[in-house]
Structure 1
């Protein structure tokens, strides 16, 4: 995917900030702030999943409450997908920091609206606004990583970022479950953490120096035909990856129940094991990236996830499920930083925000579509067959990535 011939060199000025080169301590606090902001994105839906039964009970008099209560969980993904490309255009035209500073308090207010909403439709409206805020935060954070880091440093940071997302997911999901036992509204209080990050973002995030084409608002450099095609393939791959990946949190509990494993904690432990392996693999993502290249990491990630889904389809025992989830963690920890890293390699500085927005939109489009596409297959073929088909699809992606990685290429390429 990436070659030195096909991709423009990264200008030195892109990694600078307006106040000059910050001291190493400033770099440290900037990086910690960005990592902390990244953990917010995992809170967009799953944090309040344990509250769904309480929400359904509170508004039980409404028609279709079972469907509407589940929209509380999935609606943000739709608005993230819709708004992220708009956010990308805004930050390319007007800068990164202003939108981030607006979106952090919006995230907190919209997220906490569940503490006070008196109607289910008011609750859904708050979740829609939350999706807009998450789209802006994720798009800005991805673009800032592209602005502040290059080469191996970028790979290392993206791996660390994915690890923070995994750690944050574990903490917020567990905390949300305990808080939901107190009251179904209690997990919505977690979103107020964004208020605590606002002072850090104001202090430590500096606006990157913007290329002349952005400062004068002239037309930015295009990707070219070859770059546009590669980006399209990347975005389609991100959608399909999330369609398959999201079958784990949305369908695995029901699959376990169909096998006679009904305790909710069993699903939580299986998914948690995959997350733990994912955290470990994300921490060595930079090393994988150096050794294997972009397409080699895609082959590894799609291969591990495809193998895990095939293992899920034939597993009849809980130990077999745990082994499959451990295998899936290799892909969980490496595929998202690889998508982001590949997108940043394709994007020139003037297009980085828009490319980031399209990538975020693709990820959440796949998340939103996953249950809509997998549920009819499950109804017709069953859980095992559906996981098997998804696994075969992922293995085809892995084989295609491996073919591209091993194909003849220019001597200076780094595919």
Structure 2
């Protein structure tokens, strides 16, 4: 059964105003799910579409002082803005509702994304990228929150895993599309930002505002017992810190592959690009592995152990790599682990959020995660100053990440034992 056929048979969508999770089978429900998965693709779109055109943009604005520094900032600034504003966005989604905020922000995302096609001043383009980051934060936070609102816990985990699948797959498509259009004109690459305008129209037709039910009421409703959780800030902070560490770990290989290859005498950008592309395929395969683990009711402690463990092992192996072939093999291990880890920390967060705090909790999670991605290259440069080389840094980080993998497993395991003991007391 293909993905679309599966989506047409979903169960557990919550209708507006209903107090029970009902079975819904049909074309509309399948498109609703597919649309929510597509919204997450706007996050990689924010950076990747522009990436192949950076040299041409820098050349076009060569007269701008320090353009060699400002051009990459224009690429990454949406992610930093997203990290800063996501908690506020989540709070607003809980306070004023989801759908209208998502639709209006998607329209604004498309309009602001198209702006560089017509702007002749680089600083105006930079400002448009800052504003783009604001609306990107809304789209990702609210669409993820709606997955939590619409679906039963089992389907929720499955579709959160598919979010990572969709984002990773779309990243490959956007890079190729951005490269093709950018080859014609760097301005033409931004035409891709017209796509969100279509998403906004579909969202207005297919989405609905969920009825927010407070956790104290859900305890009295047997249909919603799985959502009857309390908001525990200290425990959630542990999850958010884990998301930060996961993001730092994930981005290390994504950014450092060219530098690692250069350290062994492989300086070809084509080689680095091929390894990155093949690795992305295994991120997708990792997300499919997570879905299998969900079906088998694998505990979160094991997901975290496998995810962080594989990344830690890959770091130690990459520290010994002497050829591009070895880098590729070890990068595949890293990517498969990332494909397991990223959706796992996503639905670990969602699982412990009451509905009335789901927007806020998702926003804070996005903030920690995006700060992790932004901090990763800075942290590696800083550590390289102490260790003397990238390989030595990876050799040190590998065992630390393995230790953290074991810690995460024990933390989640002992927490479940404590909760179980309280329930049986």
Of 286, 299, 318, the residue aligned with 2:324 is 318
Where has structure 1 moved over 4 Å in runs of 4 or more? 19-23, 221-224, 405-408, 410-413
Of 245, 254, 257, the residue aligned with 1:252 is 257
What's the offset of the Cα at 1:352? 0.3
Unaligned ranges ≥5, structure 2: 1-10, 217-227
TM-score by length of 2: 0.87
TM-score by length of 1: 0.89
What's the offset of the Cα at 1:298? 0.8
Do 1:56 and 1:65's aligned partners in 2 also have CA atoms closer than 8 Å? yes
> Whose relative contact order is higher, 1 or 2, with alpha carbons under 8 Å and at least 6 apart?
1
Equivalenced residue count is 394
Where does residue 94 of structure 1 map in the other structure?
96
Where does residue 121 of structure 1 map in the other structure?
123
* 1:132-171 map, 5 Å: 132-171=134-173
Deviations 1:185-239 (A, max 9, x none): 222221211112111111111111122699xxxxxx9955xx2222111111111
Do 1:142 and 1:340's aligned partners in 2 also have CA atoms closer than 8 Å? no
Deviations 1:349-399 (A, max 9, x none): 100000010011111111111222222333552221222233233222212
CA RMSD of aligned residues (A): 2.4
How has the CA–CA distance of structure 1 residues 389 and 117 changed in structure 2, closer, same or farther, with 3 Å as cutoff?
farther
What's the offset of the Cα at 1:291? 4.2
Where does residue 265 of structure 1 map in the other structure?
270
What's the offset of the Cα at 1:137? 0.6
Of 169, 187, 190, the residue aligned with 1:188 is 190
Where does residue 279 of structure 1 map in the other structure?
284
Do 2:50 and 2:75's aligned partners in 1 also have CA atoms closer than 8 Å? yes
* Alpha-carbon distance in 2 for matches of 1:254, 1:55: 24
Matched, 1:342 2:342: no
Where does residue 299 of structure 2 map in the other structure?
293
Of 242, 247, 251, the residue aligned with 1:242 is 247
* Alpha-carbon distance in 2 for matches of 1:318, 1:194: 38
What's the offset of the Cα at 1:180? 2.0
Where does residue 33 of structure 1 map in the other structure?
35
How has the CA–CA distance of structure 1 residues 364 and 320 changed in structure 2, closer, same or farther, with 3 Å as cutoff?
same
The more displaced of 176-185 and 94-103 is 176-185
Deviations 1:283-310 (A, max 9, x none): 2313324443112101111011111122
* Alpha-carbon distance in 1 for matches of 2:367, 2:382: 24
Do 1:310 and 1:388's aligned partners in 2 also have CA atoms closer than 8 Å? yes
* Alpha-carbon distance in 2 for matches of 1:61, 1:280: 45
* 1:214-233 map, 5 Å: 223=230, 227-233=232-238
Where does residue 417 of structure 2 map in the other structure?
409
Where does residue 366 of structure 1 map in the other structure?
372
Do 1:13 and 1:209's aligned partners in 2 also have CA atoms closer than 8 Å? no
Where does residue 355 of structure 1 map in the other structure?
361
Where does residue 304 of structure 1 map in the other structure?
310
Do 1:302 and 1:397's aligned partners in 2 also have CA atoms closer than 8 Å? yes
Do 2:248 and 2:375's aligned partners in 1 also have CA atoms closer than 8 Å? yes
How has the CA–CA distance of structure 1 residues 411 and 231 changed in structure 2, closer, same or farther, with 3 Å as cutoff?
closer
* Alpha-carbon distance in 2 for matches of 1:388, 1:50: 31
How has the CA–CA distance of structure 1 residues 291 and 19 changed in structure 2, closer, same or farther, with 3 Å as cutoff?
closer
What's the offset of the Cα at 1:404? 3.2
